[in-house]
Amino acid sequence: MRDLTILEAAQRWNITPRRMQQLCKENAIPGARKQGRSWLIPADTQLKVRTKTSGRRQSLPLPIGVTSYVEAVTKYYYVDKTLLIRDFIDTLPKVSLFTRPRRFGKTLNMDMLRVFFERSYEDTSVYFKDMKIWKCGNYYRSFQGKYPVIYLSFKDIRYTSWDSALDGIYSIIRNEFARHQELMDSSLCNPIEARMYRSVIDGCADETMLSRSLTMLSSMLHRHYGKETVIIIDEYDTPIQQAYAGNYYDQAIGFFRGLFTGAFKDNPDLAYGFLSGILRITKDSIFSGINNLKINTILDDRYNSYFGFTKKEARQMLAYYGKEDKLAEVCVWYGGYQFGQADILNPWSVINYIDDNCCPKAFWLSTGSNEVIGNAITKASSETVDNLRSLMQGASITAYVDTETVSSEADNPSGFFSYLLMTGYLCCTEIIPQNDGAFICKISIPNREISTLYAKEIISGLNVIGTGPAALMIQQALFERNTASLQQGITDYITAFIMAYDTNSEDFYQSLITGLCAMLNQRYMVRSNRETVLGRFGIQLAPLESLLPGFIFELKASRRGTDILDGLAEKALIQIEEKPYIAEMKMDGTREISAVGIAFQDKKISIKSKTYVF
């Protein structure tokens, strides 16, 4: 049985790594010994030291929104992704592009690469000695802390005009120049470079000079340190997608073509380059002539487990927080992604699920802008609408997928489904490569969270087939507690949206109604399938305003005919009362709660309701 590192022991005993190191120094850990600059702890050691919490379990905080690698590994529960560094060093491509959906850990991994490669006055090796990369041997360690690094993140460049976007880009580049103040008076840089450096710092650089800024900065760093530069650009495509939405796409493409070509094409001062983003934007020649670019998309096997959580990593995290029994629910709600041959879960949603006391809901909903999807839906052809209906019913469809899809192509059917796949709204279960570099893929909705998001996004966009008015009728009926109107609204929606031959499960209708309710998320906390003392309710709408009523929905589905629907809806209503599902909202001070039992059979429904006033 091998010894534990500081980080492994800290996670086992639910204390911070810093506290663990302190205990070792105080000889409070039996058998702990120092090897070099690191501590090793026997795996069978039992911790008997009382922590400051007087015996209460002290877990590391969850890293919600944490994008700093150093902060993540020193203060929070960190899922070790450092073997990404090993896989990179094994092949050493000159420039690597990683594309993944939003909130799948791209920024944290890019910052990890920065901390690993960047030379610094601080000994940054301490942030890796308890990680998997350090166990890979001296060859891999020899890369640590050896290179000057340029690091830019464009994740916040979301402006409606090119002038504003350029000002934001300038600010980011100027801050990076200022981070390298050692170049200000470097005797190793020539006077021309020094003047250009000062122009950028002083805010005097024009757009042309700014587009050449990375070329200049990498040259100065190479000259100053005698070592080629690592250039890292996080969320490189965010300003380009925003440019499409803001109608200044051509200006943005022209600028970034110059910026990236200068940084990555035949740059003698470049050691390695890394870019991350959601989309692979090459059709617009943004990487014109860059023949040293290694592209890694969700369809590739290399690096497939380093963005998002694997099932094993999700299981370990749940166990750490005492939620081992929630793994199946986590996989149903947030898993289902296929990156290469790896099964992946959405890390943002898993972390927020644990933080929210394991209440399943669509956490990914509020993490990004979906204008492109909304615009494409409003222009959707009848074929696209039919395919969306099939996906909503849990079916798979076959689509031509081009990983070079750009925002401007999302309006056509093949571009639309390629865009949905690249952005995380679909998963790929079967891949057939084509001679033109594209793929024929079997695609489907990956999990219940995305099914809920589909319902919300598609309902709000499909006014062309009449579901928009139906959705508004449903919301109005809820507030008026008008059962007849609610039944008619849901019937109209189902008639417009699902196919006549459909005979779906309760899960399908659950996702459908949750999606409808999700449009109320500014006024309600929408929860689905949450456990109570006596069972698991269907859907809960907990009001965020004191004067609003609360709602509990219980759904039943029948395949035996419509003659039993009224009785089935009544049974659902009785279940709400007997469990009792309304207790939680009542304790939170909700003064009026409506219980709604809904029974489905194909396009037929029956609704029974009862209102409780306290």
Where do the structural domains in the chain lie, given as residue ranges?
1-58, 69-296, 309-366, 371-448, 466-613
Q: Using pLDDT thresholds of 50, 70 and 90, give the confidence band for residue 521.
A: low
pLDDT of residue 497: 61
Q: Using pLDDT thresholds of 50, 70 and 90, give the confidence band for residue 153.
A: very high
Instruction: Compute the distance between CA of residue 46 and CA of residue 51 in angstroms, rounded to an integer.
Output: 14
**What sign does the dihedral 9-83-73-368 (CA atoms) show?**
negative
pLDDT of residue 47: 64
| Residue 208 identity (one-letter amino acid) | T
- Is the pLDDT at 258 greater than 70? The verdict is yes
Phi, psi (degrees; rounded to nearest 5) at 277: -175, 180
pLDDT of residue 437: 74
Residue among 256, 186, 258 at smallest CA distance from 222: 186
pLDDT of residue 500: 44
Q: Using pLDDT thresholds of 50, 70 and 90, give the confidence band for residue 174.
A: very high
pLDDT of residue 303: 97
pLDDT, average across residues 104-132: 95
Architecture in CATH for domain 1-58: Orthogonal Bundle (1.10)
- Is the pLDDT at 506 greater than 50? The verdict is yes
- Is the pLDDT at 176 greater than 90? The verdict is yes
Q: Using pLDDT thresholds of 50, 70 and 90, give the confidence band for residue 501.
A: very low
Q: Using pLDDT thresholds of 50, 70 and 90, give the confidence band for residue 203.
A: very high
For 332-368, b where at least 16 C-beta lie within 10 A, e where not — what string? ebbbbbbbbebbbbbbbbbbbbbeeebbbbbbbbeee
Residue among 445, 232, 431 at smallest CA distance from 336: 445
**Whether this model's pTM surpasses 0.95:** no
Element (H, E) at 17: helix 17-25
Which SS3 state, helix, strand or coil, does residue 450 take?
A: helix
Q: Which residues touch 115 (CB under 8 Å, ≥6 apart)?
A: 69, 70, 124, 127
Structure tokens at 536: 């698991």
Residue among 41, 230, 38, 32 at smallest CA distance from 147: 230
pLDDT of residue 533: 66
Residue among 102, 224, 86, 218 at smallest CA distance from 152: 218
- Cα 46 to Cα 32, 55, 120, distances in angstroms: 11, 14, 37
pLDDT of residue 406: 58
Residue among 536, 527, 538 at smallest CA distance from 588: 527
* The most confident of 235-244, 313-322, 446-455, by mean pLDDT: 313-322
Contacts made by residues 352-358, CB under 8 angstroms, sequence distance 24+: 352/64, 353/326, 354/62, 354/317, 354/318, 354/321, 354/323, 355/62, 355/64, 358/323, 358/326, 358/329
Residue entry with tokens 């989309």: 279
Residue entry with tokens 């250039």: 231
Task: Report helix angle 249-264 to 238-246, nearest 10.
Answer: 160
21-35, 257-271, 402-416, 423-437: lowest mean pLDDT where? 402-416
C-beta of residue 124 within 8 angstroms of C-beta of residue 145: yes
C-alpha Rg value of the chain to the nearest Å: 27
How confident is the model over 27-52, as pLDDT tens digits? 778 888 887 777 888 877 766 544 44
Instruction: Compute the distance between CA of residue 347 and CA of residue 335 in angstroms, rounded to an integer.
Output: 9
Structure tokens at 548: 């609003």
Q: Using pLDDT thresholds of 50, 70 and 90, give the confidence band for residue 6.
A: confident
How confident is the model over 592-613, as pLDDT tens digits? 999 999 998 877 889 999 999 9
- Is the pLDDT at 108 greater than 50? The verdict is yes
336-340, 454-458, 460-464, 574-578: lowest mean pLDDT where? 460-464
- Is the pLDDT at 17 greater than 90? The verdict is no
pLDDT, average across residues 221-249: 94
For 308-319, b where at least 16 C-beta lie within 10 A, e where not — what string? bbbeebbbebbe
CB atoms within 10 A of CB 255: 22
Instruction: Compute the distance between CA of residue 390 and CA of residue 380 in angstroms, rounded to an integer.
Output: 15
pLDDT of residue 379: 67
pLDDT of residue 51: 43
Q: Using pLDDT thresholds of 50, 70 and 90, give the confidence band for residue 234.
A: very high
| Residue 316 identity (one-letter amino acid) | Q
Structure tokens at 376: 């494409």
How confident is the model over 265-274, as pLDDT tens digits? 999 999 999 9
| Residue 338 identity (one-letter amino acid) | Q
Element (H, E) at 357: none
For 269-290, b where at least 16 C-beta lie within 10 A, e where not — what string? bbbbbbbbbbbbbbebebbeeb
C-beta of residue 552 within 8 angstroms of C-beta of residue 582: yes
Got the DSSP string for 146-168? -B-EEEEE-TT---SSHHHHHHH
Q: Using pLDDT thresholds of 50, 70 and 90, give the confidence band for residue 466.
A: very low
Structure tokens at 609: 């309701």
